[in-house]
């Protein structure tokens, strides 16, 4: 391993840890407000070496609010992304979620599977 690679690895680890900590505080705040339960989400606590932080969250009306606040955090980490994957999918539902960056949200939710009350979830600016 050369010195430049080692420096990049350390920088990645620092950013990952900072982003993880800030995201954890945000999710705990949503849980404290009662918008999500404290056991309702999983912030993946393993760094796979990608510039991505991963969250699993059940279907909830808090998704748009959480996504917008995560975008504010990502403004400090412009090359990073946060994914939210739908947790606890019923059998037969495909994998789905969103990818958040500082300037956009890629929405891959398949609303045709959702109960009617959740089909209108949007991430409009």
- Percentage with pLDDT > 70 across the chain: 90
Report whether 59 contacts 26 (CB < 8 A).
no
CA triplet 53, 57, 63: central angle to 5 degrees? 90
Q: What is the pLDDT of residues 20-38, one digit of tens each?
A: 999 999 998 887 766 665 5
Instruction: Tell me if 105 sits within 8 A of 71, measured CB to CB.
Output: yes
The DSSP string of 7-25 is HHHHHHHHHHHHHHHHHHH
Residue 124 inside a domain? The answer is no
Q: Which residue ranges of the chain lie beneath pLDDT 50?
A: none
Number of domains the chain contains:
1
| Residue 40 is assigned to a structural domain of this protein | yes
Is position 48 within any domain?
Answer: yes
Range of the domain at 19: 3-118
């Amino acid at each position: 391993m050369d010195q430049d690679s080692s420096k990049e690895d350390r920088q990645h680890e620092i950013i990952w840890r900072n982003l993880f900590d800030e995201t954890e505080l945000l999710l705990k705040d949503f849980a404290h407000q009662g918008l999500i339960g404290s056991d309702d989400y999983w912030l993946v606590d393993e760094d796979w070496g990608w510039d991505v932080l991963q969250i699993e969250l059940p279907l909830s009306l808090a998704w748009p609010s959480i996504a917008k606040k995560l975008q504010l955090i990502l403004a400090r980490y412009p090359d990073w992304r946060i994914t939210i994957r739908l947790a606890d999918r019923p059998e037969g539902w495909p994998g789905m979620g969103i990818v958040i960056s500082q300037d956009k949200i890629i929405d891959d939710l398949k609303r045709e599977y959702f109960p009617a009350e959740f089909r209108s979830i949007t991430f409009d600016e």
